[in-house]
Structure 1
Amino acid sequence: MRIIVCDEPGKLTLKEESRSLPGEGYAQIRIRRIGVCGTDLHAFEGTQPYFNYPRVLGHELSGELVEANGAAGFANGEIVTFIPYFNCGVCIACRSGKPNCCVKINVCGVHIDGGMAEYLNVPVYSLIHGEGLSYDDLALVEPLAIGAHSIRRAEVKRGEFVLVIGAGPIGLGIMEFARIAGGKVIAMDMNAKRLEFCKEKLNVEHVINVSTGDVSAQLAAITNGDMPAVVIDATGSLKAINNSFQYIAHGGRYVLVGLQKGEISFSHPEFHKREATLMSSRNATREDFEHVIASIKKGWVQPANYITHRIAFENITGEFEGLLDPANGVIKAIIELE
């Protein structure tokens, strides 16, 4: 079978390897769609934490189940996706119902080889029914689940202002599920085209371009002086993360979804007087995946809105670098295997 390997930063190679049979407790999926995410792009750039080379990228996946291998309730030929965070099941996080932050977690395409391949073996416990959704829809469930999980972590309440910093695919998913939870979404980015996308495709009422005007003053005007009850970073930019502590309302919550390698810093007195809450949001759980699939089936989320680029599997090595160029206007690229 064909696989695509990131040998080192900036280098992808199309290779052939033998197709292995799934062992006990594993199922095999014939991959049909691969979503390209920020993790893949950062790995290609050489800026992704927790990463070693060479690595087969890819964890936003959908395909056909060709060997269910005893997975309860699943059948060969079924269209599926899966939870790509493989957990140990016995550590303190797993015992606490948080397999998404397992002490020994193996994220597909990050810690272990992923799904830029024609076939992939995955633990049977990770399988997710397709529920009649398309390959395209199912390939976007995982990134949308990241957004859904962050909103659940933040415990967004109806009527609260939710500031989402970063209008990339993860940020857009956060906005969708903030809206579904009843929040009043404020989108912030420096890319005018992405902010326009927020308004046109996601019906976000309030957008702020950080390159124009006083951000704090604009937030105060939108929130009637209260500032956002929830602030969520989806940029992974150290500067953006540090700057955003000043935007939190008194009694507010700040959730870090974006990830970077540096150390954050903030004014303790300013943070303390707000009695603010700082938390991270890592990966997602089955509950989040199921919430996303239900939301798509109800028409609350339209995955097709996100897909701006399509690439044939055999063309990835030549076209992947172009996905990093802001001039190409990529929201979500999908790799297709037929």
Structure 2
Amino acid sequence: MKCIVCEQPNQFTMTEVPMPTVRPGEALVRIRRVGICGTDLHAYRGRQPFFSYPRVLGHELAGEIVESHSPTSDLQPGDRVTILPYLECGHCIACRSSKPNCCEQVQVLGVHTDGGMQEYVSIPTTHLIQTNDITLDQAATVECLSIGAHAVRRAAIQPREYALVIGAGPIGLGVMKFAKQAGAKIIALDMNEGRLAFCSKWADADYTVKASEDAVDQIKAITEGAFPTVVFDATGNAGSMMNAFKFVAHGGRLVYVGLVQGDITFFDPDFHKREMTLLSSRNATKEDFEHVMNAIKQGVVDTDSFISARTTFDQMIDEFESFLKPESNIIKAVVTL
């Protein structure tokens, strides 16, 4: 079968590999869609934490069951599925606390272990979710949107509170969408005016602010001097993540959704005087996937406009560089197999 391998930073190769072995408790899945995300872009550029080469990328996946070797699973050949790509150990303190997304030994497809940028994968049926009642395109967006849904759940949004989302990429948009569903008033902050316009249209953001020297004053004015009670940073940029502290209201929460390969520092007196809560949000859970799928089924999430670029498996290597260019204005790129 065909497989695309990231051999080292800035180098993909197309190769032929054997079909995967299907062990008891697993199913063979034919991959039909692969979403391209920030993790893939950072890995390609050599800036992704927890990563080693060579690696098969791809963890935003939609496919079809070819065969199942799990008698306890209801999944049948022909069923469409999305894949929960976080393979937990099941034994550590996080797993025992029903937090498999932050398992001590988690193996994320496409990061710690090979992912779905290949024609077939073998996956435990416990990590497959049937998607027969949504399209393959919709199923390919579920993992990405679940990252935002999980961050919103971590933040415990209260109705009518101001939520500032820094970064209007796919993850930030997911945060906005589900924070809005939770009842928050959304402020979107980004450097790109086109992205901000998309936030208003797609995520129904209440306010948009272009990142500039007066952004603090603008956000202070929007919130009548109080600042947002919850701030999400979805940039994966160390400067932005450290700057985010200044936007948080006294008694508020700051949620790091993005991940950076480096240190984050802050001025402790400011942190203490506000009695801030600092949270990280990692991966997602099956509950988040189901929440996103329900939102898609109900028409709350428009995946048609969210997917803004497409390519085929055979063309992916040639076109991948274009996905990195800001001028491409791509929200979500999807590979079709």
| TM-score, reference length from structure 2 | 0.98
Matched, 1:35 2:22: no
For the pair 1:47 / 2:47, whether they are aligned, the reply is: yes
The answer for the alignment partner of 1:233 in structure 2 is 233
State the Cα distance separating 1:192 from its structure 2 match. Answer: 1.2
Give the alignment of 1:172-321 within 5 angstroms: 172-211=173-212, 213-321=213-321
Query: Could you report, residue by residue, the CA deviation over 1:161-213 in whole angstroms, capped at 9, with x for unpaired residues?
Result: 000000000000000000010011111111111111111222212011113x4
Q: Distance in 2 between matches of 1:58 and 1:262?
A: 24
Percent identity between matched residues is 51
Deviates more, 1:42-51 or 1:201-210: 201-210
Distance 1:327 1:152 in 2: 33
Pairwise CA RMSD of aligned residues?
0.9
Q: Which residue of 2 aligns with 1:59?
A: 59
Whole-Å Cα distance in 2 between the matches of residues 196 and 223 of structure 1? 20
Q: CA deviation at 1:131?
A: 4.5
Structure 1 portions without partners, runs of 5+: none
Letter matched to residue 194 of structure 2: K
* Kept in 1: contact 2:231–2:254 (CA 8 A): yes
Q: Does 1:123 align with 2:124?
A: yes
SS of residue paired to 1:63: strand
Letter in 1 for 2:88: N
Amino acid at match of 2:108: V
Q: Secondary structure at the match of 1:66?
A: strand
Aligned-partner Cα distance in 1 for 2:20–2:155: 41
Query: Residue 21 of structure 1: CA displacement?
Result: 2.9
Distance 1:334 1:196 in 2: 22
Unaligned runs of 5+ in 2: none
- Tell me which residue corresponds to 1:112: 113
Deviations 1:260-308 (A, max 9, x none): 1111111111111111100100000111011000111111111112111
Query: CA deviation digits over 1:93-150, x for unaligned, max 9?
Result: 0000000000000000000000000001111110111040000000000010000000
Q: 2: distance between equivalents of 1:142 and 1:18?
A: 27
- Residue 98 of structure 2: aligned partner: 97
Specify the code of the residue in structure 1 equivalent to 2:125. V
Q: Which moved more, 1:92-101 or 1:19-28?
A: 19-28
2:110–2:116 contact (8 Å) kept in structure 1: yes
1:14 deviation in Å? 0.6
Alignment-mate amino acid for residue 171 of structure 1: G
The one-letter code sitting in structure 2 at the alignment partner of 1:164 is V
Match of 1:76 in 2: 77
User: 2:144 is paired with a residue of what secondary structure?
Assistant: helix
Q: What is the count of residue pairs matched by the alignment?
A: 336
Distance 2:98 2:276 in 1: 25
